[in-house]
Amino acid sequence: MTTVEFRTPGALADAEKWTAHNYHPLPVVVAEAEGAWVTDVDGRRYLDFLAGYSALNFGHRHPGLIAAAHAQLDRVTLTSRAFVHDQFAAFCHGLAELCGKELVLPMNTGAEAVETAIKVARKWGYRVKGVADERAEIIVAADNFHGRTTTIVSFSTDPDARADFGPYTPGFVVVPYGDLAAVRAAINPNTVAVLMEPIQGEAGVLVPPAGFLAGVRELCTENNVLMIADEIQSGLGRTGKTFAIEHEDVVPDMYVLGKALGGGIVPVSAVAADRAVLGVLRPGEHGSTFGGNPLACAVGTEVVRLLETGEFQERSARLGARMHAGLEALIGKGVVAVRGRGLWAGVDIDPLLMTGRQACERLAERGVLAKDTHGSTIRLAPPLVVTEEDLDHALAQLAEVLRG
Ligand SMILES: Cc1ncc(COP(=O)(O)O)c(C=O)c1O
């Protein structure tokens, strides 16, 4: 008899030994992936229902994106912004048009794009709105997640994200998410922006009350305040539209984008706004060595092309309706509540049954990867290329897990 030696335990132990413990991953060691599926080092296959927190909206190794990356790898990969390269304008132009904005500023990670939006809003406040020096205020929502820099965690309300990382950056006012009266009350002449996620992802896929985003838009317009939509997780097809904020027919002054913009291949983020806003930056005031590099732009241009077809938004809306119907059917059978739009759901598991972490561990044992957040909530966000069959299979596995 031959004994099979599994590689997973050793790979997990090595990762544990050699890295900072800033994550608590599921015990799965991925070796390969394609579409909505990943394969671990022992050959087990899993449906990826996290999709890199929406960085993999187009699936793992989408052929068009891989081809664009390969072609660019054979030409030029990095120049820095000290020079212009031939992929830059096409990406910025394409993304600006997708957003309906005049200008784009590319960065790398989501947090960098959020930092960019904050800097631009502050400078706009001083130079355009006329706010007194050092007085600019930005209104944000409780339970937000905008990234991990010291400035961004300064306005986080999550103790894990914030504690021990002070001193904190001033200039942010936190109001309850979805509370329009609180936003109205927080606005004063020093307010330069309202920065919010149109759907709060990390908080558990929280959809604000109907009319909230439209109300914020109105308040911003009335008070000469910039509305900044952090669509890093909610955008680029995830909710059945290009941007989640479109569900309320709202156009923000600034979009903050990331994750799926890099096609699951490279980190690409950006802010998009009109010249009256983004035009405030001058050479030397902001930048990034890697932001807008040729490889990022080549992949990003292909991402924009994929989104221009509308195919992924349509899939997300159609399959999302199927996913939400399937999840609603589990209410009372281990599920307490379901939220979300398109192929994006926050599912509250009955805390008497199990924690979100336990649910994700049991799902992983059944070949479905998902991620818990805050106690008994799990998040489902499959790649938008997921098939109906795969979707039904994953929902059946969840039903089994809840059955115990
Ligand atoms: C809404 C939102 N903003 C910003 C970020 C930060 O992006 P990154 O991890 O690429 O810095 C995230 C990441 O989860 C996010 O969900």
Q: pLDDT digits over 308-349, tens only?
A: 999 999 999 999 999 999 999 999 999 999 999 999 999 999
Does the pLDDT at position 4 exceed 90?
no
Q: Which atom of ligand 1 is nearest to the CA of 259?
A: 10
Task: Tell me which residue has tokens 């008497």.
Answer: 352
Predicted local confidence at residue 179, as pLDDT: 98
Of 58, 259, 312, 371, which one is the catalytic site residue?
Answer: 259
Q: Is any atom of ligand 1 closer than 6 Å to the C-beta of 233?
A: yes
CB count within 10 Å of CB 306 equals 21
Predicted local confidence at residue 2, as pLDDT: 66
Q: What is the mean pLDDT of residues 11-16?
A: 95
Pairing of strands 30-34, 37-40: antiparallel
Q: Are residues 226 and 253 in the same domain?
A: yes
Predicted local confidence at residue 195, as pLDDT: 99
Phi and psi for 160 in degrees, rounded to 5? -60, -40
Predicted local confidence at residue 340, as pLDDT: 98
Q: Are residues 137 and 80 in the same domain?
A: yes
Does the pLDDT at position 373 exceed 80?
yes
Predicted local confidence at residue 404, as pLDDT: 84
Q: What is the mean pLDDT of residues 265-288?
A: 98
* Residue 149 domain flag: yes
Query: How far, in Å, CA of 82 to CA of 93, rounded?
Result: 19
Task: Report CA-CA distances (Å) from 6 to 30, 321, 370.
Answer: 13, 39, 23
Q: Are residues 335 and 345 in the same domain?
A: yes
49 is catalytic: no
Q: Are residues 168 and 288 in the same domain?
A: yes
How far does residue 143's CA lie from ligand 1's centre (Å)? 13
Domain of 359, CATH number, reads: 3.90.1150.10
Q: Are residues 316 and 305 in the same domain?
A: no
Q: Are residues 87 and 211 in the same domain?
A: yes
Q: What is the mean pLDDT of residues 36-60?
A: 98
Does the pLDDT at position 3 exceed 90?
no
* Residue 399 domain flag: yes
* Residue 124 domain flag: yes
Q: Are residues 94 and 240 in the same domain?
A: yes
Predicted local confidence at residue 125, as pLDDT: 98
How far does residue 113's CA lie from ligand 1's centre (Å)? 9
Q: What is the pLDDT of residues 74-112, one digit of tens each?
A: 999 999 999 999 999 999 999 999 999 999 999 999 999
Predicted local confidence at residue 1, as pLDDT: 59
Q: Are residues 41 and 75 in the same domain?
A: no
* Residue 395 domain flag: yes
Domain of 135, CATH number, reads: 3.40.640.10
% of the chain with per-residue pLDDT over 70: 100
Q: Are 174 and 157 in contact (CB under 8 A)?
A: yes
Query: How far, in Å, CA of 130 to CA of 108, rounded?
Result: 30
> What is the pLDDT of the chain when averaged over all its residues?
97
Residue 264's pLDDT band (cuts 50, 70, 90)? very high
Q: Are residues 278 and 344 in the same domain?
A: no
* Residue 73 domain flag: yes
Predicted local confidence at residue 374, as pLDDT: 84
Q: Are residues 361 and 234 in the same domain?
A: no
145 is catalytic: yes
Task: Report CA-CA distances (Å) from 331 to 100, 326, 393.
Answer: 39, 10, 18
End residue of a domain, out of 309, 325, 351: 309
Of 145, 155, 290, 312, which one is the catalytic site residue?
Answer: 145
40 is catalytic: no
Query: How far, in Å, CA of 213 to CA of 219, rounded?
Result: 10
Q: Is any atom of ligand 1 closer than 6 Å to the C-beta of 255?
A: no
Task: Tell me which residue has tokens 């998902």.
Answer: 370
CA angle 163, 155, 273 (to 5 degrees): 145
How far does residue 269's CA lie from ligand 1's centre (Å)? 10
% of the chain with per-residue pLDDT over 90: 98
Q: Are residues 262 and 356 in the same domain?
A: no
Predicted local confidence at residue 375, as pLDDT: 86
Query: How far, in Å, CA of 233 to CA of 377, rounded?
Result: 17
End residue of a domain, out of 286, 309, 332: 309
Write the residue with the smallest CA distance to atom 7 of ligand 1: 110
Query: How far, in Å, CA of 232 to CA of 185, rounded?
Result: 27
How far does residue 199's CA lie from ligand 1's centre (Å)? 13
* Residue 17 domain flag: no
What is the count of structural domains for the chain?
2
Show the domain range for 228.
63-309
Q: What is the pLDDT of residues 136-195, one digit of tens each?
A: 999 999 999 999 999 999 999 999 999 999 999 999 999 999 999 999 999 999 999 999
Q: Which two tokens stand for residue 34?
A: 């394609």
How far does residue 401's CA lie from ligand 1's centre (Å)? 29
Predicted local confidence at residue 317, as pLDDT: 98
Predicted local confidence at residue 50, as pLDDT: 97
Predicted local confidence at residue 204, as pLDDT: 96
* Residue 234 domain flag: yes
Q: Are residues 230 and 336 in the same domain?
A: no
Q: Which atom of ligand 1 is nearest to the CA of 233?
A: 16
* Residue 8 domain flag: no
End residue of a domain, out of 309, 333, 358: 309
Helix (H), strand (E), coil (C) string for the chain: CCCCCCCHHHHHHHHHHHCCCCCCCCCCCEEEEEECEEEECCCCEEEECCHHHHCCCCCECCHHHHHHHHHHHCCCCCCCCCCCCCCHHHHHHHHHHHHCCCEEEEECCHHHHHHHHHHHHHHHHHHHHCCCCCCCEEEEECCCCCCCCHHHHHCCCCHHHHCCCCCCCCCEEEECCCCHHHHHHHCCCCEEEEEECCCECCCCCECCCCCHHHHHHHHHHHHCCEEEEECCCCCCCCCCCCCHHHHHCCCCCEEEECHHHHCCCCCCEEEEECHHHHCCCCCCCCCCCCCCCHHHHHHHHHHHHHHHCCHHHHHHHHHHHHHHHHHHCCECCCEEEEEECCCCEEEEECCCCCCHHHHHHHHHHCCEECEEECCCEEEECCCCCCCHHHHHHHHHHHHHHHHC
Of 91, 123, 155, 230, which one is the catalytic site residue?
Answer: 230
Query: How far, in Å, CA of 72 to CA of 66, rounded?
Result: 10
